[in-house]
Amino acid sequence: MDPFDLSRRLGALLLVAALGVTGCGTGGVGPPTVDVTGFWTGTWSAPNMGSGTVDFRLQQKGADVTGDLVWRGSMEGPRAGASLNPTGALKGSVAGRIFSFDRSPSPVKGDLTVEGDEMRGIVTTVQDAVVRLRRQR
């Protein structure tokens, strides 16, 4: 086999491998491919912090999202008794299948991946909390 042909094949193979690792169609790039409009409810949990329920009422127009977040739960461990209330109005956006939001000026923000009627990801409050939601129809 010709060494030039071999290096060309190896280059093509490396390109395919790199695209597979990085993902050709990453969820958070480009225009929205999902609509998050509706009422979503689910749970949150964070190690050494606690757990509870979370609700989103969202309205999407294009890539822009507005809505409300209701966060309930109990603080545990070293943060027991601490004040945690990320509840309130939010603004966000959707890129691909990723819904990102913040509650400025509150230090609450999140990045959630949408798959059909389910959403999951991380919401940062006093620490990162794992959030899983389901759209209610």
Q: What is the pTM of this model?
A: 0.74
Residue 84 lies in a domain: yes
- Is there a single domain that holds both residue 16 and residue 72? no
- Is there a single domain that holds both residue 17 and residue 56? no
Structural domain tally of the chain?
A: 2
* Rounded CA separation 18/77 (Å): 42
Contact 46, 122 (CB under 8 A): no
Residue 80 lies in a domain: yes
- Whether the per-residue pLDDT at 57 is higher than 90: the answer is yes
- Is there a single domain that holds both residue 91 and residue 46? yes
Using a pLDDT cut of 70, give the percent of the chain over it: 72
* Rounded CA separation 61/4 (Å): 52
Model pLDDT, residue 49: 81
- Is there a single domain that holds both residue 14 and residue 63? no
Q: Which domain holds residue 70?
A: 38-136
Residue 31 lies in a domain: no
Residue 33 lies in a domain: no
- Is there a single domain that holds both residue 69 and residue 98? yes
